[in-house]
């Protein structure tokens, strides 16, 4: 018989997601959010999605529980990506409880204002100047925003178990958030290859390079060298 005091792998995994839900609820939301089920699912391409009234409490059949569903792919990326996914799901929960959600899959202006209030800017191009409504939006995290501060100050941002196949295969996707740092030390996160200037020092933020970027640079240099060699030898490369 198993010792009930020993935490299982499933306990460890889901307790972490639940702990983050309660942490961000306390740090970012000014209204009461009901408890929410956080689960993993692979039947949608989105990083996460929200289902109101998805679960029924059998001990109280009048109690219906909403559901934030994360794609396991995102758990294999940098921790800030799935932290953002959880908080965006919580914004959907807030809008469901207190606002007027758009049609299924559509993010309306009210949702955009709610995400901005917690420090996450949503737009079609992943920057503050983009279109803020639509079905598929990208996130942009301003430096020192409420979410950025809460994420930075969390003592344990990481999760132990990630999807090996999905996480390893797609963890370097271009949809992943990138870290940018300006010369005065302020950090922000956004999509790859954006150009942003710091309001404090008026210098450009520099994108942090990861293994994916380094490999791309190596491949570009290798291809450039091959093209030069082919040109010298009078060859034509067919790509």
H helix or E strand, kind and range, residue 69: strand 64-70
**Looking up tokens 């909403």, which residue turns up?**
66
Rounded Cα gap, residues 7 and 146, in angstroms: 32
**What residues does each domain of the chain span?**
9-208
Instruction: For residue range 105-130, list pLDDT tens digits in order.
Output: 899 999 999 999 999 999 988 877 78
Check: pTM over 0.75? Answer yes or no: no
Q: Residue 199: what pLDDT?
A: 74
Of 159, 27, 198, 26, residue with least CA distance to 81: 159
Residue 148 in this model has a pLDDT that exceeds 70? yes
Residue 167 in this model has a pLDDT that exceeds 70? no
Q: Residue 176: what pLDDT?
A: 59
Rounded Cα gap, residues 153 and 32, in angstroms: 22
Rounded Cα gap, residues 66 and 55, in angstroms: 6
Q: How confident is the model at residue 217 (pLDDT cuts 50, 70, 90)?
A: very low
């Amino acid at each position: 018989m198993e010792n009930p005091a020993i935490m299982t792998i499933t306990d460890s995994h889901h307790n972490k997601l639940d702990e983050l839900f309660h942490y961000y609820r306390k740090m970012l939301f000014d209204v009461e959010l009901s408890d929410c089920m956080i689960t993993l699912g692979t039947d949608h391409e989105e990083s996460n999605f929200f289902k109101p009234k998805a679960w029924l409490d059998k001990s109280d059949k009048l109690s219906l529980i909403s559901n934030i569903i994360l794609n396991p792919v995102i758990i294999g990326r940098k921790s800030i990506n799935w932290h953002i996914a959880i908080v965006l799901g919580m914004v959907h929960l807030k809008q469901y409880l207190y606002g007027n959600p758009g049609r299924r899959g559509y993010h309306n202006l009210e949702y955009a204002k709610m995400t901005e209030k917690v420090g996450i800017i949503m737009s079609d191009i992943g920057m503050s100047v983009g279109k803020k409504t639509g079905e598929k939006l990208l996130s942009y995290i301003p430096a020192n925003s409420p979410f950025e501060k809460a994420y930075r100050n969390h003592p344990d941002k990481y999760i132990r178990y990630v999807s090996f196949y999905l996480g390893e295969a797609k963890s370097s996707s271009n949809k992943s958030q990138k870290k940018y740092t300006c010369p005065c030390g302020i950090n922000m996160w956004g999509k790859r290859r954006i150009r942003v200037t710091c309001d404090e020092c008026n210098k450009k933020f520099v994108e942090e390079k990861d293994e994916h970027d380094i490999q791309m640079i190596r491949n570009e240099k290798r291809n450039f060298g091959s093209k030069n060699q082919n040109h010298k030898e009078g060859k034509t490369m067919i790509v």
